Copies of this chain bind each other. A is one copy, B any other.
């Protein structure tokens, strides 16, 4: 990667970070108050340059999450070949989304702000394509004819989203990785939990 590409990447990340930071500062309610001019200034760049990279504030704010999702395919491919699909996917996803435990404020902003809903879904769903390819490769299925890989990929990204929501909304003390493990387990074991009271940590007060 030459200087050009590196600075370009840096600019993109700077704008994205600035956008997310400002959004968090102004709060989910004052999102409309985050002006393009502010983002650009905070990132040390002209407004015109800002929209050479992004065509909407929403896109800039969710850029980090989108970049993250783009790496999903590679994460799965880097798992050992013999590993069963469910274990490989679980390990890959957990590694990808919890390498540093995600920033709760940022995740909350992205996932819980109505105006960002579309972009957030887009950001997470960017993992689907690469994931589907990797799953197809791993299971020896044909992405063009079999629906299995794409369905699994969609289910997995759905599980990631649900894990995020649950981690944010329910006042759980679990790590994000633990919640992810639970949601992914749902995807890979069809049976509904016998009743309620599922993998809550033994001894924990279930009703809190």
Q: Is the CB of B147 within 8 A of A154?
A: no
Which residues of the partner chain B approach A206 to less than 8 Å between Cβ atoms?
145
Does A152 contact B186, Cβ atoms closer than 8 Å?
Answer: yes
For the complex, is A200 an interface residue (Cβ under 8 Å from B)? yes
Q: Tell me which residues across on chain B come within 8 A of A142, comparing CB atoms.
A: 196
Taking the closest CB of chain B, its distance from the CB of A179, in whole angstroms, is 7
A186 surroundings in chain B (CB, below 8 A): 147-148, 151-152
Complex contacts, A122 vs chain B, CB 8 Å = 117-118, 121
Complex interface bits, A184-200 against B, C-beta within 8 A gives 1, otherwise 0 = 00111110110111101
Binary interface encoding of chain A residues 152-173 relative to chain B, with 1 for a CB under 8 A from any of its CBs, else 0: 1011011101110110001000
- Number of interface residues, chain A, beta carbon within 8 A: 48
Closest CB-CB distance, A150 to chain B, in whole Å? 4
The verdict on A133 contacting chain B, using a C-beta distance below 8 Å, is no
In the assembled complex, which residues on chain B have CB atoms less than 8 Å from the CB atom of A193?
139, 141, 146, 148
- Nearest B residue to A206, CB-CB: B145
Any B CB within 8 A of the CB of A1: no
Pairwise interchain contact A196-B145, C-beta atoms closer than 8 A: yes
Q: Is A91 an interface position by the 8 A CB rule?
A: no
Q: Which residues of B contact A148 (CB under 8 A)?
A: 186, 192-193, 198
Q: Report A133-145 CB contacts with B as 1/0, cut-off 8 Å.
A: 0000001111011
Q: Cβ of A192: which chain B residues have Cβ within 8 Å of it?
A: 85, 139, 141, 148, 152
A159-B155 Cα distance, complex, nearest whole Å: 8
Contacts A155-B158, A161-B154 known; A147 to B187 CB distance under 8 Å?
Answer: no
Q: How far is the CB of A49 from chain B (nearest CB, A)?
A: 22
Name the CB-closest residue of B to A59. Answer: B118
Q: List 7 A-B contacts (CB under 8 A).
A: A85-B192, A118-B122, A147-B179, A148-B192, A151-B183, A151-B187, A152-B192
